[in-house]
Amino acid sequence: MAIFLDSSDLKEIRQFMATGIVSGITTNPLIISKENPGVDLKTHILEIISMGKVPTSVELTTETEAEMLAEAREYLKWHPKHVVIKVPMTEIGLRVIHTLERGDKTPVNVTCIMSFNQAYVSALAGATYVSIFSGRVRDMGYEPARIIEQTRAVLEREKLKAQIIVGSMRHMADVNEALHAGAHIVTVPPAILRKMFWNPRTTETIREFNDAWKFDRAKKK
């Protein structure tokens, strides 16, 4: 299993890369426009990649097949080794996935997946990653864990290369659920990832140990 960081904030990326626990970055137009409005995308993505040299997903924003392929190939030129093309789950998207993966040998992260069948056909098209949106699935009244479990089982049964990324995390419990259900990767926003480090009992215990040591040293002066 692996953790990706779902962010385009350079400060946050730098801090989390220093922990050694992040093995990929996912971005999307909504994240970038909120965190870095008006930024030059190429400069920004290259700066992200320079921090960790890890797979970095860059999402397509055009809509026709020809436009999407041209956009993907432009992004790939920026850093062929670490750019992953993020393609939305649509019928046109499937054709783009197939062309990029089978023809261009370009890794694709299929995004906005809300169901098992979408994950399955994306994997059949050749996707390297299939991204299931946990929070949005739950918004529709379905259990993300069941979709993750079904997808993992079929990928293994049919020996498909796709790895499951679970994103759209709203709570730390969503991360735990996805990992237990069989996600290969969870992509986690900084605020939630930071919560994974913290427990009130841990903080209390560290303080107790440190205070005891300081008290002991003070007595010997």
How high is the pLDDT of residue 217? 78
| Pairwise CA distance, residues 179 & 148, whole Å | 9
Residues 6+ apart with CB under 8 A from 162: 119, 122, 123, 127, 128, 129, 130, 155
Under CATH, to which class is 2-219 assigned? alpha beta
Residue 219 predicted with pLDDT over 90: no
Runs of H (alpha helix) within the chain: 10-17, 29-35, 41-52, 65-78, 91-98, 116-125, 134-139, 144-157, 172-181, 190-195, 200-219
* 61-116 pLDDT tens trace: 999 999 999 999 999 999 999 999 999 999 999 999 999 999 999 999 999 999 99
Mean pLDDT of 188-196: 96
pLDDT band at 220 (very low <50, low <70, confident <90, very high): confident
Residue 221 predicted with pLDDT over 70: no
* 134-175 pLDDT tens trace: 999 999 999 999 999 999 999 999 999 999 999 999 999 999
Residue 216 predicted with pLDDT over 90: no
Q: Which of 86, 195, 219, 220 is catalytic?
A: 86
The mean predicted confidence, pLDDT, of the chain is 96
**Catalytic site includes residue 86:** yes
- Tell which residue, 96, 82, 101, has the closest CA to residue 4: 82
Mean pLDDT of 36-48: 93
How high is the pLDDT of residue 85? 98
